[in-house]
Chain A
Amino acid sequence: MKKFKGFAITAMLTGVLAVATACGSDTTKEKSTSGTGDTAAKLSGEVIIDGSSTVYPIMEAVTEEYGTVQPDVRVSVGLSGTGGGFKKFIAGETDLSNASRPVKDEEKAELDKNGIEFTELPLAYDGITVVVNPQNDFVDHLTVDELKALWIDNGKTKMWSDIRPEWPKEEIKFYSPGTDSGTHDYFNEVILQDAPMVANATLSGDPNILVQGVTGDKNAIGYFGYAYYAENKDKLKDVSIDNGNGPVEPTHETIGGDYKPLSRTVYTYVSNKAVADKEQVADYTKFAIENAGKMAEEVGYISLPEADYKKDLEKLAELTK
C-alpha cells in the first residue's frame, strides 16, 4: 500500500512541478526577448498569419527563408481556410490573412465595423484545373456554358449525354473541394454565378482525395488547384476551357493570361495597423512580397508579372510612411 501512495504522490507532484516550472520560466524569458529587440537591424516579436490552405505553401516557403534573415522574429502560419482566416482577421487576432479569393463584401463590412483597415496584396496566380479520368476519351475541352451546365444543380442525375448528345449515356461523378475552401467559392462564383452546385458532388477539403476519386472513376470530373494537377499529370487528364476564344489548356504560360476565367490571383491581406505599429510585420511583409514570386514557383504556383510586385511594395511603403 505504501508503494502506491508514494507513486500517486510522485505522479501528482511531477504534474504540479511541470506547470510551476513552465510558469516560472515565463517571466525570465519575457525579459530576455525584449532585451534583444533594441538593435534596429535585428528584429524580434511575433508575426501571426492565418488563412487559406492554398496560399499556405507559399507562406511556409517565404517564412522558412525569412527565418534565415531574421531568426528572432517568431512567425506562425495557420491554415484555417480563407473564410476561417478572415474570421480571425476580423477579430483582430492576426496580422496577415491569406486568401485564395478576394475579400467578400460581408467580410469587408465586418472589418469596417471593427475598425480594421487592411491592404490587399496579390501574391501569385493559380489556375483552377478541371480534370477527368484518363480513360475518358471524349471530353477534350469544355465551354464555360457547358461547365456551368455540368456543375449546376437541376435536381436530376446528370449523364454525359446531357451535355453533348454524342457523349455516352453514363452518369457523371462530381468531385469538388469543400464549401469552406476559397477554391470552391471561386468556382461557384465565376462558373455557376453563385447558383447551387450539384448536390451529389463528393466534397473534400483535401485535394489529394479528389485526385484519387477522379483517378479511380471513369466517369468522374473534378477541379482543384493547378499544383495538384501538375504533380499527377500521369493519372489525370486536364480539360481545356473555351471562354469564347477557342479552348485554352491550363499551363504555366496560360495561367494568369489566356486561361480564363479559371485563373485566379491568390492574396494576402495585411492589417494596416500591424504594419504601422510592428516593425517586424512591416519587414516580414516586405520580404514576403519580394520573394513571393520565386517561392510561388517553387511550390507549384505561377508568379505575377514583376510590375505587380512593385505595386505591392508601393502600397506597403505608403503604410509605413
Chain B
Amino acid sequence: MSKLVDKEIVAKKMPSRIIRNQIFKGLFFLSTLFGLLVLGVLFYRIITQGIGYIDLDFFQNFASRRPENAGIKAAFIGTIWLMVVVAPVSLILGVGTAIYLEEYAKKNKFTSFIKLNISNLAGVPSIVFGLLGLTIFVRAMALERSVLAAGLTMSLLVLPVIIVASQEAIRSVPKELREASFAMGATKWQTVLKVVLPASIPGILTGGILALSRAIGETAPLIVIGIPMFVAFLPKTIMDTFTVLPMQIYNWTSRPQAEFQDLAAAGILVMLVLLIVMNSIAVFIRNHFQKRY
C-alpha cells in the first residue's frame, strides 16, 4: 500500500528547500536594500549640500549670478503654472480617450492597433515630444514660448501614461455593475457617468498624479521648444513665457562655481518635497476612495 506522503523523501528534500528559500529571501532583501541605500546616499548628499540654502529668500528671489542672492521664485511659480495647464488638458483628453476605447470602441483589430500604439507612445523619448511641440504649438499655432505651448507639449508627453492607467482602472470595474445598471434601464452614458467613472476614479487619479509628477521633472522637451532659462518676472497669463524647476537645477549643476552646485541641491530638495507631496496625494486618494468589488 502506497503512502500518500513519503515522510522519508520529504525529510531528505527539506534542508535543500529551506536553503533555497533562504537564498531567494536574501536576494530579494538585497535588491530592496540596494535601492534604499542609493536613495539614502542621494538624500544624505542633497540634504547636507542644499539645506543651508533653503530659507524664505530662496523662494522669494529670482535667479542671480551671486549664489547667495539666487532663488527659485520664477522656477517654482513657473512649475505650478505648468501644472495648471497640464493637469486639466491631459486628464480630460486622457480619460476621454480611455472611456472611448474601453466603453464605446468596437473590439476590432483597428482598436487594438490604436491601443498598442498608445502603449508604445509611452516609451517615446521625451525630446521627440519636444520637437513635436516646437513644430505644432510653438511654430504652426504661433503660441511661441508660452506656458500654454509648454503645457500642451507636456500634456502630449504624459497622455499615454494617463490613458493606459485610466484604461486599466475602467477595465477593472466588474461587468456585473454595468449589467446591473443596464438592467435598471440606464443608458450607456448614464452607466459610464454614474457607475463606471465613480468606480474607476481612484485608479484614474493615481495614474494622473503619477503622470503629472513626470511632467514636472522633465527638462528636455522644454529646452527644445525654447523655454528660457533666466526670467526675472512671473507669468501673468498662459501666453507669457516662464521657466521651471528642473531647468533651473540643470543650469545650476552646469555652472563652474561650487556654490551653484549647492544651490542645485537645494532646488532638488524643493522638487523632491513637491514630488513626495504629489505622490502622497496619489496614495491618499487610492486608499481613501478605493472600493473593492
- Residues of A whose CB lies within 8 Å of any CB of B are 1, 3-5, 7-8, 11-12, 15-16, 18-19, 22-23, 25-26, 29-30, 46, 48-50, 53, 56-57, 59-61, 63-64, 67, 74-80, 88, 91, 93, 205-208, 225, 227-228, 230-232, 295, 298-300
Q: Interface with A: B3-11, B26-34, B111-119, B193-201, which one? A: B193-201
Residues of chain B in range 213-244 having any CB-CB distance to chain A below 8 Å:
223, 226-233, 236-241, 243
Instruction: Name B223's closest neighbour in chain A (CB-CB).
Output: A80
Q: Is the CB–CB distance between A74 and B233 below 8 Å?
A: yes
- Cα separation A50 to B226 with both chains bound (whole Å): 8
Contact of B88 among A18, A225, A230 (CB under 8 A): A18
| Residue contact A25 to B144, C-beta cutoff 8 Å | no
Q: Number of contacts between A and B (CB, 8 Å)? A: 135
Q: Check A74/B231 contact, CB under 8 A, given A4-B201, A7-B201.
A: yes
Chain-A contact segment, one of B12-20, B100-108, B120-128, B247-255: B247-255
Within the complex, the shortest CB–CB distance from A136 to chain B, in Å, comes to: 21
Whole-angstrom distance between the alpha carbons of A25 and B226 in the complex?
A: 24
A267 to B263: give the CA distance in the assembly, Å: 28
Chain B 116-150 against A: per-residue CB contact (8 Å), 1 yes, 0 no?
A: 00000000000000000000001100001100000
Residue in A closest to B91 when the chains form the complex, CB atoms: A15
CB-CB under 8 A for A63 and B237, given A18-B84, A208-B254, A299-B65: no
- B76: shortest Cβ distance to chain A, in Å? 17
* Contact B253 A227, beta carbon cutoff 8 Å: no
Contact yes or no, B254 A26, CB < 8 A: no
Asked whether A79 lies within 8 Å of B239 as measured between CB atoms, the reply is: no
Instruction: Report the separation of the CA atoms of residues A253 and B149 in the bound assembly, to the nearest whole angstrom.
Output: 46
Interface contact B198-A5, CB-CB below 8 Å:
yes
Bound Cα distance from A246 to B88, whole angstroms: 65
| B84 partner, pick from A19, A207, A300, beta carbons under 8 A | A19
Pairwise interchain contact B228-A77, C-beta atoms closer than 8 A: yes
B258 at the interface (CB under 8 A from A): yes
B256 and A208 contact, CB distance less than 8 A: yes
Q: In chain B, what residue has the closest Cβ to A21?
A: B84
Contact flag A93-B238 (CB < 8 Å), given A56-B229, A60-B230, A79-B229: no
- Does the CB pair A22–B226 fall under 8 Å? no
Shortest CB-to-CB span from B290 to chain A, Å, is: 10
Bound complex: CA of A90 vs CA of B258, how far in Å? 35
Whole-angstrom distance from the CB of A182 to the nearest CB of chain B?
Answer: 14
**Among the listed B63, B251, B254, B258, which residue makes an inter-chain contact with A231, where contact means beta carbons less than 8 Å apart?**
B258
Tell me if A77 and B230 are in contact (CB < 8 A).
Answer: yes
Overall SS of chain A's interface = helix
> What are 24 A-B residue pairs whose CB atoms fall within 8 Å in the complex?
A4-B199, A4-B201, A4-B289, A15-B87, A15-B88, A25-B236, A56-B251, A59-B230, A60-B64, A60-B230, A63-B230, A64-B62, A67-B232, A77-B231, A79-B251, A88-B226, A93-B144, A93-B145, A208-B253, A208-B254, A228-B256, A230-B256, A232-B256, A300-B257
Q: Which residue of the partner chain, among A4, A25, A59, A88, contacts B198 with CB atoms under 8 Å? A: A4
Q: Which 10 A-B pairs have the closest CB atoms?
A: A15-B88, A4-B198, A76-B228, A61-B65, A77-B230, A231-B256, A26-B237, A78-B228, A227-B256, A228-B256
User: Is residue B47 contacting chain A, with contact meaning CB distance below 8 A?
Assistant: no
Judged by a CB distance under 8 angstroms, whether B205 is at the interface is yes
Nearest neighbor of A11 in chain B, beta-carbon distance: B205
Complex CA gap A25/B194 in Å reads 34
Interface-centre pick from A12, A22, A91 (highest chain B CB count, 10 A): A22
Taken together as a complex, chains A and B put the C-alpha atoms of A230 and B257 apart, in Å, by 9
A1 touches B198 (CB 8 A): yes
A217 to chain B, nearest CB (A): 20
Instruction: State the Cβ distance, A321 to closest chain B Cβ, in Å.
Output: 30
Q: Which B residues lie within 8 Å of A299 (CB)?
A: 65
